[in-house]
Amino acid sequence: MATTLAKAADDTGTATHAARIEHVSKSFAGPAGQQLVLDDITLDVAPGEFVTLLGASGCGKSTLLNLVAGLDGPSAGTISTDGRPALMFQEHALFPWLTAGKNIELALKLSGVPKAERRERAEQLLELVRLKGAHGKRVHELSGGMRQRVALARALAQDSKLLLMDEPFAALDAITRDVLHDELTRIWRETQVSVLFVTHNVREAVRLAQRVVLLSSRPGRIARQWSVDIPQPRRIEDTAVAELSVEITEQLRGEIRRHGQH
């Protein structure tokens, strides 16, 4: 069954969820036949909620994100979203022959924004990600962190209700990643966009999310979920973040041991 990119609303027209994943499984053909990657995943993301997907490498986190994005279809089950999601990858995927601003304007064009409004809107988005004045800069002139900020602005240019993020800060150094954690939290609170964020970093998951969802090792199943009630803004070294991270790490290690991965 394919992903449904349609608004899921109640009788009043109000969206009841940003994403709804119902009994979703995914298999791929392999040398030994069909390999089950995801098994019976059911998960809702509420409007404005920040959810992190956590699990060992190969557990199906990115596969699930691709299914929600509509880049692939589930083998079983259904997925519905509140409009078309925006997707942000680990690599910035910016067009190097365009400036930072023109990369954003291209996304605005594809979203149907009139040409006369694109420059101003791109400038606004660059200011939102703290890159005011960078409209004319080429990609090679930007640092890794700045490129990811432009990629985030481009994703926000799609005016989606749901932002899908696949380990977007994994390739950055620790200090830049720490700064971008703060920036993402601020932007999420300002825009009230829903976020589904894939990571294998437990502390990153706890620092950012309202809810952490742990997937078991392959085939990926929901092993456990945690509500994170630690007030924002959080620091990655905060005692409460560290304590919950230790608890989740122990559960993750148990899942890895249970599935015989090393």
Per-residue confidence (pLDDT) for residue 44, from 0 to 100: 96
Q: What is the DSSP string of 5-50?
A: -S--B-TTS-BS-SEEEEEEEEEEEETTEEEEEEEEEEEEE-TT-E
SS3 string, 186-251, reads HHHHHHCCEEEEEECCHHHHHHHCCEEEEECCCCECEEEEEECCCCCCCCCCCHHHHHHHHHHHHH
Task: Count CA atoms closer than 13 A to 82's CA, side-chain side.
Answer: 23
Per-residue confidence (pLDDT) for residue 8, from 0 to 100: 53
Average pLDDT, consecutive stretches of 10 residues, N- to C-terminus, the chain (262 residues): 50 76 92 87 96 89 94 95 90 88 93 91 94 93 92 92 93 90 93 95 95 92 95 91 95 81 45
Where along the chain do the CATH 3.40.50.300 domains lie? Answer: 3-85+162-258
Task: Count CA atoms closer than 13 A to 3's CA, side-chain side.
Answer: 21
- Predicted confidence (pLDDT) per residue in 121-154, tens digit: 999 999 999 999 999 999 999 998 999 999 999 9
Full-model pTM: 0.90
3-state SS, residue 151:
helix
To the question of domain 3-85+162-258 being in CATH 3.40.50.300, the answer is: yes
